[in-house]
Amino acid sequence: MRIAMIGTGYVGLVSGACFADFGHQVTCVDKDNRKIEALERGEIPIYEPGLDALVASNVKSGRLSFATDLAGPVAQADAVFIAVGTPSRRGDGHADLSYVHAAAREIAANVQGFTVVITKSTVPVGTGDEVERIIKEANPAADVAVASNPEFLREGAAIRDFKHPDRIVVGTEDERAQKVVAEIYRPLYLNQAPIMYTGRRTAELIKYAANAFLATKITFINEIADLAERTGADVQDVARGIGLDNRIGGKFLHAGPGFGGSCFPKDTRALVKTGQDYEAPLRIVEAVLSVNDNRKRAMARKVQHALGGSLRGKTVGVLGLTFKPNTDDMREAPSIPLITALQDLGASVQAYDPVGMEQAKPELPASVTYCDDAYACADGADALVIVTEWEQFRALDLAQLKAKMKQPVLVDLRNVYRPDEMEKAGFTYESVGRGRG
């Protein structure tokens, strides 16, 4: 199959490289000249384990190429994927669809022969209808079928998620389009991934419902964690105890500082807006958003509590800045409101992240000091806070940390360590939802 992938952001680049790896002929298109030039030099604009090697080997084999002009790649394509950004619109939280609509207009001007146009960007219900309208209006002779094929990949594990999906959702009732998409994903259902054909609007809603449900699961266990702390219970055992029930499932029940990232906050906000527009309010999702927002700031009070009630004049070391490990992505990272709140409460902050420090700088207050490693971050600190569970923070040399710190206080917002081992190591230790018991 010949594929044109419009947009070389996270989803576009990972999907394009994986499709090429399946054996298809893929051109990734982006208007950003510098990005395309960098990709042609083999430089990957995002940090994603394994992506550089995957891109390099598929470029070398001639299956993957890059372009700034979509005209040629679209004209030749059997399938055109739209994987451009859909950021939250300033002010109202709706998804900004201007890039999707612009891509639709350009596709309309260049398609030749039967072409399936597939939205991979997360788009509100009804966007596929709008893309079809735009194309048909701009080019009434265009022979296109518009489908929705949402992406469920997680940053840091994107290639694995793409190649071993739990399911593939394809929103189109057009049989010719179904055949093309089936051919594109053939290597995956050889891996026995179920492919599910639905209506287009249904596929669009599946993506939002999945993300909102996962965000709800996290927020639910976070609130149970607060209760566990106060009642002397252990949230990790509660999560295991409920997760072993197949109807609930054990994943996405890790209590922490609240969810962040490029998808959950943006998509839950957009879903809430859609619910309001259609007068079918999603009150649970609304509550999830506000509980999660409050939680990120509330984590600063946990640090304050661990230091005996006041942060004034104290130095706090923050370990991990990105919204999760194995990414350099700072979007909606819990570290941002947490660090701001720590400073508002009078603390000075020194921070370290294995990969995301450059990306963090523009997002964090200018007064934050950046350190070269975890031990430098502990140096002279009254408390150390683990905000992101990078692998290297799981095996810290506790004696060395303790020797560097002004006082041995560790606030572990990801429950990386066990309370008993920290006690043995001589730390005052606070974690999330582990009131013992």
Binding of ligand UDX by 259 (CB under 6 A): yes
Q: What angle do CA 435, 436, 437 make, to 5 degrees?
A: 115
List, in sequence order, every residue forming a beta bridge with 386; answer none if it has no partner.
319, 412
Pairing between β-strand 2-6 and β-strand 79-82 as defined by DSSP bridges: parallel
Contact between 401 and 375 (Cβ < 8 Å)? yes
Please say if 263 is a catalytic residue: yes
Q: Catalytic one among 28, 263, 371, 377?
A: 263
Shortest CB 168 distance to ligand UDX, Å:
13
C-beta of residue 377 within 8 angstroms of C-beta of residue 384 = yes
Of 26-34, 187-195, 249-257, 377-385, the window that binds ligand UDX (rule: CB under 6 A) is 249-257
Residue 429 lies near ligand UDX (rule: CB under 6 A): no
Kindly report the number of other CB atoms within 10 A of residue 37's CB atom: 12
| 264 touches ligand UDX (CB under 6 A) | yes
Cβ 328 vs Cβ 47: under 8 Å:
yes
Beta pairing class for 315-319 and 25-29? unpaired
CA dist 112 and 268 (Å) reads 37
Which stretch, 178-186, 196-204, 261-269, 275-283, contacts ligand UDX (CB under 6 A)?
261-269
Is 330 a residue that touches ligand UDX (CB under 6 A)?
no
Cα 148–151–152 angle (5° rounding)? 140
Q: Quick one: which segment of 123-131, 260-268, 299-307, 393-401 binds ligand UDX (CB under 6 A)?
A: 260-268
Residue 229 as a binder of ligand UDX (CB under 6 A): the answer is no
Regarding 234 and contact with ligand UDX (CB under 6 A), the answer is: no
Q: 213 or 375: whose CB is closer to ligand UDX?
A: 213
Contact 319, 352 (CB under 8 A): yes
* The binder of ligand UDX chosen from 21, 48, 132, 155 (CB under 6 A): 155
Applying CB under 6 A, among 56, 67, 93, 152 the residue interacting with ligand UDX is 152
Report the amino acid identity of residue 26.
Answer: V
Q: Which pair of tokens denotes residue 120? A: 């991979």
Distance CA 55, CA 13 (A): 9
Q: Does 342 bind ligand UDX (CB under 6 A)?
A: no
Comparing CA positions, the residue from 324, 353, 331 lying closest to residue 154 is 324
Please tell me whether residue 433 binds ligand UDX under the rule CB under 6 A.
no
- Cβ of residue 254: shortest distance to ligand UDX, in angstroms? 3
Q: How far apart are CA 435 and CA 233, in angstroms?
A: 5
* Number of residues this chain uses to bind ligand UDX (CB under 6 A): 19
Among 21, 48, 106, 151, indicate the residue that binds ligand UDX (CB under 6 A): 151
Nearest residue (CB) to ligand UDX, 66 versus 390:
390
Dump strand ranges (E) for 299-390. 315-319, 348-352, 369-370, 383-386
Q: How far is the CB of 400 from ligand UDX (least distance, A)?
A: 27
* Residue 154 touches ligand UDX, criterion: CB under 6 A: yes
Q: Which of 179/251 has CB closer to ligand UDX?
A: 251
Spatial separation of the C-alpha atoms in residues 43 and 59, rounded to whole Å: 12
Residues of this chain that interact with ligand UDX (CB under 6 A) are 151-155, 211, 214, 218, 252-254, 256, 259-261, 263-264, 323-324
Active-site amino acid positions: 263
